Amino acid sequence: MLIRSPNEIPASQITAESVYCKRRELLRGLGIAGLGLSGLGQPALADSAQTLSDIKRPSPYDTDEALTTFDDVTTYNNYYEFGTGKSDPAKYAVNFQPKPWTLQVSGQVENSGSFDLDDFIAPHQLEERIYRMRCVEAWSMVIPWVGIPLAKVIEACKPTSNAKYVAFIGLHDRQRMPGQRFAVLDWPYREGLRMDEAMHPLSMLVVGVYGRVLPNQNGAPLRLIVPWKYGFKGIKGIAGIHFSENQPATSWNLSAPNEYGFYANVNPNVDHPRWSQASERRLSGNGFGRLFAGRIDTHPFNGYAEQVAHLYSDLDLAKHF
């Protein structure tokens, strides 16, 4: 580790006192101010072979459906930052180093600034939630995610009354993420939620899966999970959270607005332009077994309609897709 004396550090690299004080205020809001994470049994969020400790289980939001295997969850991924093939992320993210990690909070919020991710994560806050996950391409999984409610972080950031939306920005690093060397999308990856969606208790910031630290190919060290929406809404490698008054641009909506709307709610009654959304295949195994897995009906809001349908009661879901 390089240690420099104060007179060797440029003024531009010294954290302002006002920013530092906001950082402590944010940590107090999360209930972890003054705690040394190294003494709490919390592993560094880098090694996916490590297990996470003191996870709150079970969750009232759990589904009782059979889990997708860890191997399937970690080898069949959409993560264009590491390639467009389903096996590319596991292959090309193997040497990615997600530690240390800085999260930038900005926009219509009192507690803005740059924060070390470990300051957001403490063992007593972690929860495991078994969620159904639906990909727009008509395959689905059931995954035990480990993370913290997004609402808890938002509340600690203290958004102003002007904050109507929350945007998420992925890491932009062409060296560490080789898929970004190609103009497949307008990098960095961006996603967004309406504030009431972000504050819903189902929305999570995820740091682990199957009780382990989140693997690189699944979005280490931090990703978003919103289980009533299609999988492309689950931005991985989150490096920034921005609060805004106006609806933010999102990557897939910018890329193909006729195919991917801002809301991305699972709606079996509205087909994707290139395939039906009425049914899905539950991912299992590989090769022909995966290809010919039996189809099951897709339910509105991915089966979470009872919890979230009221959020969209005033919208035409065929237009606001």
Can you give the three-state secondary structure of 124-144, one letter per residue? HHCEEEEEEEECCCCEEEEEE
Structure tokens at 169: 């920005």
The reply to whether 294 falls in a domain is: yes
Is 80 exceeded by the pLDDT of residue 82?
yes
Minimum mean pLDDT range among 110-124, 150-164, 174-188, 227-241: 110-124
- Cβ distance 76 to 87 under 8 Å? yes
Q: What is the pLDDT of residue 40?
A: 28
Is residue 291 very low, low, confident or very high in pLDDT (cuts 50, 70, 90)? low
Q: Which domain CATH number covers 42? A: 3.90.420.10
- Digit-coded pLDDT (tens) for 104-150: 999 999 999 999 998 766 534 799 999 999 999 999 999 999 999 99
Residue 115 lies in a domain: yes
Q: Is residue 211 assigned to a domain?
A: yes
| 8 is a domain residue | no
Q: What is the tens place of the pLDDT at every residue in 204-219?
A: 999 999 999 999 999 9
Residue 41 has pLDDT above 90, yes or no: no
Looking at the domain assignment, is residue 4 inside a domain? no
In a domain, 317, yes or no: no
Q: Structural domain tally of the chain?
A: 1
Secondary structure class of 186 (helix, strand, coil): coil
Section 234-261 average pLDDT: 97
| Segment 154-175, tens digit of pLDDT | 998 999 999 999 999 999 999 9
| Rounded Cα–Cα distance for residues 182 and 70 (Å) | 29
Q: Please indicate, yes or no, if residue 10 is contained in any of the structural domains.
A: no
Q: How much is the pLDDT for 37? A: 30
Q: How many CB atoms lie within 10 A of CB 257?
A: 11
pLDDT at 222 over 50: yes
- Asked if residue 5 has pLDDT above 80, the reply is no
Q: Where are the alpha helices (DSSP H) in 139-217?
A: 150-157, 195-198
Q: Span 290-311, mean pLDDT?
A: 90
Q: What is the DSSP letter of 121?
A: -
In the chain, % of residues over pLDDT 70: 81
> pTM of the full predicted structure?
0.85
pLDDT at 122 (0 to 100): 57
Domain that includes residue 170, residue range? 16-312
- Please state the rounded mean pLDDT for residues 245-262: 97
Within a domain: 107: yes
pLDDT at 8 over 60: no
pLDDT at 86 over 60: yes
